[in-house]
Amino acid sequence: MNTIETTDFAELYKNHMVQAERTKKEPEHWDKRAEKMAETCANPNDPYLIKFRKMMDFTGAETLLDVGCGPGSISIHVADKFKKTIGIDYSTGMLAVAKRRAEQAGINHAEFITCSWEDSWDDLPRCDIAVASRSTLVMDLKAALIKLNRQAKLRVYTTHTVSPTFVDQRIIRLLGRDVPTLPTYIYAVNMLNQMGIHPKVDYIRSRNCQSNFNSLEQFIEGINFSVGPLNEDEITRLTNYYHESIKNGVSLISPTRDWAMVSWDVVPESELNL
């Protein structure tokens, strides 16, 4: 009989990613988005960053590892709490922006290294706290969670999507598309539980970083990025929707997005059920 105890959530997650037709994006994809993400997702007044910081316990921590750091959104925001911060990302464009932002903020104890989830982390130092903010939609989540737990000495903080799609439901209905769902934070919670880690779960409601469109072209490009190639009829529908929304002062897509903070105290690997 199949029960939650006999379900292999790591395998289920991988199958879900395949069904979602989710593939790993090349670094160049993120290189092109680095400057824009620094504007929309790294503002120190962003409620997401403020709430993320409030949910962290810095007790006894001197070093931080920020995995999938992007433009340094988290590592720069909490740099004052640490003697040393290390951000890793496979996008050199993101890292260049992160380095520049750190220098502009007068932060001289931050280091940014080109490294991906799949690379060996053997040369990275173990840090007191590891974070993975909005960077956990990887192909092998269990391997990622194990690496985070192994690389941290004290605590780990990760955020995952609550909604199974990045696309606003209004847009999905407008296009008449059957958009594949993505794995949510529930997978991480269940995987950790099966490994013998009992995580804490909190929620962050934040501004939707993808909700700012300065032109019709940006709007079309953003939807195209999320759902795949658009045909002429779909572009016409989106164009009419765009102008109608602007005319009536209605937001084009949901201005907020919910994230789940899944965090835990590090458990020695010898005590895990792997």
pLDDT tens profile 12-71: 999 999 988 776 778 887 878 778 777 777 888 889 999 999 999 999 999 999 999 999
Q: Write out the two tokens for 200.
A: 């804490």
Greatest extent of the chain over all pairs of C-alpha atoms, in Å: 61
Listed range (1-10, 98-107, 207-216) with the worst mean pLDDT: 207-216
The mean pLDDT of the chain is 89
Q: Is the pLDDT of residue 210 over 70?
A: no
pLDDT value of position 264: 98
Token reading at 49: 């960053």
For the stretch 5-30, what's the b/e string if a residue is b when 16 or more beta carbons lie within 10 angstroms of its beta carbon? eeeebbeebbebbeebeeeeeebeeb
- The dihedrals phi and psi of 112, each to the nearest 5 degrees, come to -125, 125
CA 120, distance to chain mean position in Å, is 20
The single residue listed with the structure tokens 């909190």 is 202
Q: Which residue has the tokens 């092109």?
A: 32
CA distances from 20 to 14, 17, 24, 35, 137 (A): 10, 5, 12, 28, 12
Q: Is the pLDDT of residue 85 over 60?
A: yes
What interhelical angle do 141-151 and 9-19 show, nearest 10? 130
Q: Per-residue b/e over 172-182, b at no fewer than 16 CB within 10 Å?
A: eeebeeebbeb
